[in-house]
């Protein structure tokens, strides 16, 4: 073996060793700002489903994670991640105010309004329950509005200035070719409109605000027949979020990097 081929072999071994030894929770470039400080993400509804996977992945990537749960006492999987846990019911003004007080002086780089619900009897317009429709609007539409406004001082203090609302393809008017899902569809279409206004009104301050469809994902809400597992959906969304620029503000993004129709 020549000395050159020995050097090549040693270089290859070093690369393989570095890849093997990189810890899963190493801090990625994405997790730090230009000054090398860890970024902070706040994720609502982080105790299960997509929110929990967001918390797991951002935490593993080295971000400071604040995860919210309606019932922190039973949010075992979230607690096990070792992230900061805050009580929050997005439809309860007192709960939002308590969270704001708890987080005073905490800069937030990225807010992910993920918490959401579906009204299960919304398939039949003639029998659906209007209380359920009111509830889904309170959680899916007014909730993100309430949380975003409450956290604006924290977001202004952060450097990232990113706001992501988890919407749904079911909120697309153009893509609605089957009807049904009364209540849920309206809640996400209205969320999309809220985001568009927010985007216009915060662009001068440097905010990037998007709505994002996670795909159809196997969670309690998505059910076992869904296309994607949470890991795939969240990996895709994190990649999209990481690549966002202010020129993207006000857009309807999809988990796989495509733009959804309104």
Binding string, residues 133-172; x marks residues near ligand NDP by CB under 6 A: ------x--------------------------x-x----
Please check whether residue 167 is in contact with residue 192, taking contact to mean a CB–CB distance below 8 angstroms.
yes
- Under DSSP, is residue 211 helix (H, G, I), strand (E, B) or coil? strand
Half-sphere exposure of 63 (CA within 13 A, CB side): 25
For 51, counting Cβ atoms within 10 Å of its Cβ (0-12 exposed, 13-18 middle, 19+ buried), the class is buried
**Cα dihedral 119, 120, 122, 123 in deg (nearest 10):** 150
Q: Smallest distance from the beta carbon of 152 to ligand NDP, in angstroms?
A: 19
Nearer to ligand NDP, 137 or 139 (CB): 139
- Out of 64, 89, 210, 241, point to the residue binding ligand NDP (CB under 6 A): 89
- Out of 42, 43, 86, 90, point to the residue binding ligand NDP (CB under 6 A): 90
Cα dist from 86 to 6, 19, 98, 199, whole Å: 55, 35, 9, 26
With contacts defined by CB under 6 A, name the span among 121-129, 194-202, 216-224, 245-253 that binds ligand NDP.
Answer: 216-224
- Under DSSP, is residue 84 helix (H, G, I), strand (E, B) or coil? strand
Task: Say how far apart CA 42 and CA 144 lie, in whole Å.
Answer: 12
Q: Tell whether residue 88 is a contact of ligand NDP (CB under 6 A).
A: yes
With contacts defined by CB under 6 A, name the span among 27-35, 39-47, 151-159, 237-245 that binds ligand NDP.
Answer: 39-47
Tell me phi and psi for residue 25, to 5 degrees: -100, 25
Binding string, residues 219-248; x marks residues near ligand NDP by CB under 6 A: xxxx---x----------------------
Q: Tell whether residue 131 is a contact of ligand NDP (CB under 6 A).
A: no
| Residue count, binding to ligand NDP (CB under 6 A) | 28
With contacts defined by CB under 6 A, name the span among 10-18, 82-90, 150-158, 248-256 that binds ligand NDP.
Answer: 82-90
């Amino acid at each position: 073996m020549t000395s050159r081929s020995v050097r090549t072999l040693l270089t290859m071994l070093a690369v393989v060793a570095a890849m093997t030894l990189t810890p899963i929770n190493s801090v990625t470039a994405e997790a730090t700002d230009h000054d090398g400080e860890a970024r902070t993400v706040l994720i609502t509804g982080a105790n299960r489903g997509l929110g929990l996977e967001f918390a797991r992945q951002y935490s593993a990537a080295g971000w400071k994670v604040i995860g919210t749960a309606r019932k922190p006492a039973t949010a075992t999987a979230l607690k096990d991640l070792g992230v900061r846990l805050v009580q929050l019911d997005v439809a309860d003004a007192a709960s939002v105010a308590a969270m704001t007080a708890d987080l005073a002086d905490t800069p937030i780089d990225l807010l992910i309004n993920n918490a959401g619900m579906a009204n299960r009897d919304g398939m039949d317009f003639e029998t659906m329950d209007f209380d359920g429709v009111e509830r889904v609007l309170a959680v899916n539409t007014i909730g993100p509005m309430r949380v975003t406004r409450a956290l604006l001082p924290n977001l202004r203090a952060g450097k990232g200035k990113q706001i992501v609302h988890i919407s749904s393809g079911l909120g697309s008017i153009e893509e609605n070719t089957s009807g049904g899902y009364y209540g849920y569809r309206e809640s996400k279409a209205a969320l999309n409109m809220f985001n568009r206004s927010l985007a216009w009104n915060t662009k001068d301050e440097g905010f990037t605000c998007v709505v994002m469809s996670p795909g159809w994902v196997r969670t309690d809400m998505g059910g076992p027949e869904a296309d994607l597992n949470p890991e795939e959906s969240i990996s895709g969304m994190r990649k999209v979020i990481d690549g966002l620029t202010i020129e993207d503000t006000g857009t309807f993004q999809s988990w796989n990097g495509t733009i959804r129709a309104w």
